[in-house]
Amino acid sequence: MWYGAYYIDPRHLVFWICVGTDSEKERLRSDEQFWTSARGLLAEYAYPSEGRDGVQLGVESQETVAREANGNWWLYMK
């Protein structure tokens, strides 16, 4: 999932990696190789270099969204 105002400035972009379980979320949060690889995709797909460091990447789980927002991703992200 993604959102942002990248047309104003390329650093205004957010990507959420949505996974099924809290344990998977915690595993990814601590996996430095995963985050390095994910950030590398910005360069691979020629995202503007001046905005790459500002792009936010996060991970969230369906379990958390179900628990905290009755399964509604839109409400949870709001």
Amino acid 5: pLDDT = 93
Alpha helices in the chain (DSSP H): 22-29, 32-44, 49-52, 62-69, 73-77
Amino acid 60: pLDDT = 98
Amino acid 23: pLDDT = 98
Amino acid 25: pLDDT = 98
Amino acid 4: pLDDT = 93
Q: Write down the domain spans for the chain.
A: 2-77
Per-residue model confidence as pLDDT tens for the chain (78 residues): 999 998 999 999 999 999 999 999 999 999 999 999 999 999 999 999 999 999 999 999 999 999 999 999 999 998
Distance CA 73, CA 32 (A): 26
What sign for the dihedral angle of Cα 69, 72, 77, 78?
negative
